A and B are shown apart, each in its own frame.
Chain A
Amino acid sequence: MHKLSISDLQDIRDRNRATFTLRKGVCRAKVTVHMGTCGIAAGARSVMTALMNEIMRSGQEDIVVKAAGCGGLCSREPMAVIELPGSPPVIYGGLNEEKIKEIFREHIMGGKPAERYAVALGSGIVF
C-alpha cells in the first residue's frame, strides 16, 4: 500500500462499500432466490449464478442477494423475489438464466418490473 492522502481514504471507502452494504443491510435492491429442494431441482442454482455474474458485470455494489427456502409454489420454481425500497416486492417464477438477466436489466437497473415473468406484484396476483 502506498502512502495515503485523505482523498485516498475516501476512495477506499467507496471501493469497499459493497462489502459493508452486505453486512450492514443498507441496499438499493434485495433479490431473494428460492433455493428449496424444489427450486434447486428446477434450476435455481444456475439462476443464482447467472444473477451473481450479472451483478458483477454491472459493477453494482449495493444489491443484496439472499437465498431462501421453498416459497410454497413449487410448480413455478425457480422463483425469485425482488424488492426495491419504497415499492412492493415482485415475485418472479419459471426463471432461467436468460430471464433473470432480462429482469436484472429491466427491474433492478431500470426500476420497471418485468411483468411478463411476474407471478405476483406486491399482494396482487397477475398469473
Chain B
Amino acid sequence: METAVRTHAMLCGGTGCMASGAMKVKAAMEDEFRKKGIQDEAKVVLSGCNGFCAKGPVMAVYPDETFYQNIRAEDVPSLVEEHFLKGRPYQKLAFKEQEKKVAIPSIHDIPFFKHQVLVVLKNKGLIDPERIEDYITMDGYKALSKALTLMKPEEIVKVVSDSGLRGRGGAGFPTGKKWELGLKIKAEEKFVVCNGDEGDPGAFMDRSVMEADPHAVIEGMIICGIATGSHKGYIYVRAEYPLAVKRLQIAIDQCYEAGLLGNNILNSGFDFDLEIYQGAGAFVCGEATALMRSIEGKRGMPRPKLWRSAVKGLWDKPTVLNNVETFANIPQIILNGAGWYRSLGTEKSAGTKVFALTGAVNNVGLVEVPMDTTLRKIIFDIGGGIDRKGRKFKAVQLGGPSGGCIPEAYLDIPVTYEAIQQSGAIVGSGGMVVMDTSTCMVSTAKFFLEFTADESCGKCTPCRIGTRLMHDLLIDICEGRGKKGDIEMLEEMSETIISASLCGLGQSAPNPVLSTIRHFRQEYEAHIEDKWCAAGVCSDLCTFYIDEQQCKGCGACMRACPSQAIEGEKKKPHKILQSACLHCRTCVDTCKFNAIKILPASARNANEADLKYMAGMAVESNVSVGVSE
C-alpha cells in the first residue's frame, strides 16, 4: 500500500549537480531515511536543474521551502537528523550571503531566487523530468488539449503573434510571423524543427530546459505542428548533452505510449511524429540552414538565404525552426493568452528570457527574468555581484562569440533586443559572462576570435581566412608586436567579414573585437603603444612591481610564487627579481594589500627610481584597470 508522504526533498539532477555528486547524496539520503525509519513519509526526488548551479549539489525541501547547498554525502546524517527528524533548518548547509554569516533557509528569501520571474522554468525543481505524470499534473498538455479541441490553426498563430514572442535563439525574429508563413504555404509535407544546438562558450540555458522540463519543449512543438499543418518534427541536440538527450528520449517514449505523439493524438485525429537528431557539436550547426543540412545527412554548412526556411527548408520542404526556449514558452502562451505574456517585459521585447549567468559573479546559475530587467539587477541583485574581494565589475559579455562586451556605463539598460544591440552586443541565446577588473579585453576578444576561427565552416573566404588573420593580429598585439594602425586594420577586416559572409557565424564573428574596441579602445592602445597590459594577463606586456609603501612584508606572495622570484625579510617590503619572474600574476591575486603594481613591459629593465615613478603614474592613470588600482 502506498503511504502518505509528508515531505519531498527535491534534489537537483541537472548536469552541474550530477557532476558535483548529487547521485551520492541521493543514495546517502535514502539510506539515512531508512535508518531513521522515515522512508515512507520522506521522499527524495531527482528534479531538473534548479538553477543555482554554482552551489551544487543543491536541494529544496518541501513543504518547508528550505534550500540547501553544497551538500556532501558526509553531511547527510546531520542534515536528515536536524531537518527531517527535528524539523529545524540545518544551518550549516543553508544559503549565506557573501561576507554575512546569517543563514537564509527559505528558498523564497534568497536573492538569487527572489528576483526571478519563472515562465519557461516554472517547473524547474518542482517536477521529476523523467515522470510524465508530474508534467501533466502541473497543467502539462493542457495547452495541447486546448489547441486540439478549441482552436483553429489560424487562432493559434494569432495568439503566438499577439503575444509578441520573439525567437529566443538569438536573432529575435517574431515567432508568430514564422508560424504564419508556415501555415500559409501549401505543401504535402512540412516539418517542425527545434534547435537545441547550443554552442556558445558559457551558455547552458537550452540544455537546462531540455533536462528540467523536456515535455514543455515537446508540447510546444506539437502545438506548432497543429498550427502549421505539419506532422513530423525533429529536435536537434548536440551529442555533448547526453543527459538532455536521455531525458528527451524518455519523454518522447512516454508520449508515444500515452498517445501524445504518433497517430490520433488524444483521439483528435491529429498525427505528429517526433525524433531526436544528435549533432556532432559543430558550432555552425546552430545556424538554421546548416542545422537542416546536418539533419539531411550532409556536412553542416549554411546556404544562401534566398528563400526562408518556412518556404523551403529541410529536404526543401516548408520548415518552421525555433529554439528550445521559444518552444518551451508556447504551452503557457496558449493557456494564459497573449495579453498575459505581453504584460511581462516591454512592448517590443515581450515576456521573459533565460540567461546563463556565469563568470566572476557570486551566484553562477540559470536566471529567468522579464525582458525589462536591467543588467545591474541581474548581475548585482540576482548574481550577488563580483565574487573576488578587491575586484570590481569591468564588463559583461552577452551573446557569446556573436555578441559583445558591455561596460559599466551601460549597466542600467534593460535586457531587451533593442537596448542590448545599441550597446554593441546581442541578447543572443542568453549566455551572460561577467568579467572583473582582472580581465584583459584584448585577450577576451582574442579568445572569441580563436573560437570562431576554429568553428568557421570554411565556405566563405572572408570568414575562413579573415577570422584567422584577425586572430593572428590579436596575438601580435597581445605578445608585444602590435603596431600603429592595427586597430584600424581590425575594424576594416571586421567590416569585410560582416558584409561578405553568408551566415550569422561570419556576420557576427567580428562583434567581440568591434565591441571591445568601441568600449575599451584605450586598452588596445596601451597594448600597442605602451606595450602595457594593465590587467596583467598578457605576460609579455607587463612588469610586476611591489610598492614598498603598501607592502606589509607578510610573505604571502613569496610563498605563492611558483618561480621563487620574490625575496624579502619578514615585515619588510619584498622585492620581485625581474629576471626570474614568469609574469603569471599569482602574486597579484595573492596580495591582500594591493601592494603589487602592474607596469608596462619596459619597466623590466628600469632602475628603482624609475619604477617608483611608473608605479605612481600607473595609479594616477585611468588606463590602469588591474587589481592594483
Contact = CB atoms under 8 A, between A and B. Distances in A.
Interface of A: 1-6, 9, 12-13, 15-20, 22-25, 27, 30, 32-37, 40, 48-49, 52-53, 55-56, 64-69
B86 A9 contact: no
B87 A69 contact: yes
B87 A6 contact: no
Given A9-B136, A12-B133, A40-B85, A22 B62 contact: yes
A52 to B, nearest CB: 5
Contacts of A16: 133-134, 136-137
A69 B266 CA distance: 48
A64 B136 contact: no
Contacts of A67: 7, 83-87
A23 B258 CA distance: 25
A83 B28 CA distance: 33
Contacts of B8: 19, 22-23
14 contacts: A6-B149, A12-B137, A13-B136, A16-B133, A16-B136, A20-B138, A22-B6, A35-B85, A49-B41, A52-B6, A56-B4, A66-B7, A66-B63, A67-B84
A5 B266 contact: yes
B139 A36 contact: no
B142 A9 contact: yes
Contacts of A1: 132, 254, 257-258
Interface of B: 2-8, 10, 40-41, 62-65, 83-88, 126, 132-134, 136-139, 141-142, 145, 148-149, 254, 257-260, 266-267
B258 A33 contact: no
A69 B136 CA distance: 35
B263 to A, nearest CB: 10
A21 to B, nearest CB: 8
Contact of B139 (A13, A34, A53): A13
> Which 3 A-B pairs have CB atoms at the shortest separation, nearest pair first?
A67-B87, A3-B259, A56-B4
Contacts, number: 107
B62 A17 contact: no
B139 A33 contact: no
A24 B137 contact: no
A29 B298 CA distance: 60
B472 to A, nearest CB: 55
Contacts of B148: 6
Contacts of A37: 86
Contacts of B2: 56
A68 B258 CA distance: 41
Contact of A13 (B4, B126, B137, B267): B137
Given A17-B137, A67-B86, 9 more contacts: A2-B258, A6-B267, A16-B133, A19-B137, A20-B138, A22-B8, A37-B86, A55-B4, A56-B2
B126 A66 contact: no
A65 B126 CA distance: 18
A25 to B, nearest CB: 6
Contact of B87 (A20, A27, A35): A35
B3 A52 contact: yes
Nearest to B64: A66
A25 B259 contact: no
A50 B149 CA distance: 46
A47 to B, nearest CB: 13
B29 to A, nearest CB: 16
A65 B63 CA distance: 8
